[in-house]
Copies of this chain bind each other. A is one copy, B any other.
């Protein structure tokens, strides 16, 4: 199985795009976090090692990384885009804690199947979907008692 970096390198080459240090570094930082970082969170991390890299470059690079199939935009309704891994990570849904912001990734094959059925029933051709359950996670629930 090809590594994410290899995939990225090939994507850039195929498109005649350059393999810059900034892109490499931003991809590196993104790959190291298994969370759902915002652009600004990534920017703060990158900044520590490479204070010269600008915010606009992070925006531009994350778009390229998404286009290459390595990341996917997600949003949890708080007005900021977040990114999660796409390569070698199967589709999943999210449980989002409204107290602490923790995100639990979940998968229910039965729900996935019912979604297909639901779309078909309306003659709707699904391309992608998202499902988020907002609430209180176990830890926050315990604390509030």
Contact = CB atoms under 8 A, between A and B. Distances in A.
Interface string A95-122: 1011000001010101100110011001
A125 B129 contact: no
Contact of A124 (B104, B119, B124, B129): B104
A122 B108 CA distance: 12
A134 interface: yes
A49 interface: no
18 contacts: A75-B77, A77-B130, A95-B119, A95-B124, A97-B124, A98-B127, A106-B118, A111-B111, A115-B133, A119-B133, A124-B135, A124-B138, A125-B141, A126-B134, A127-B134, A127-B135, A129-B131, A130-B134
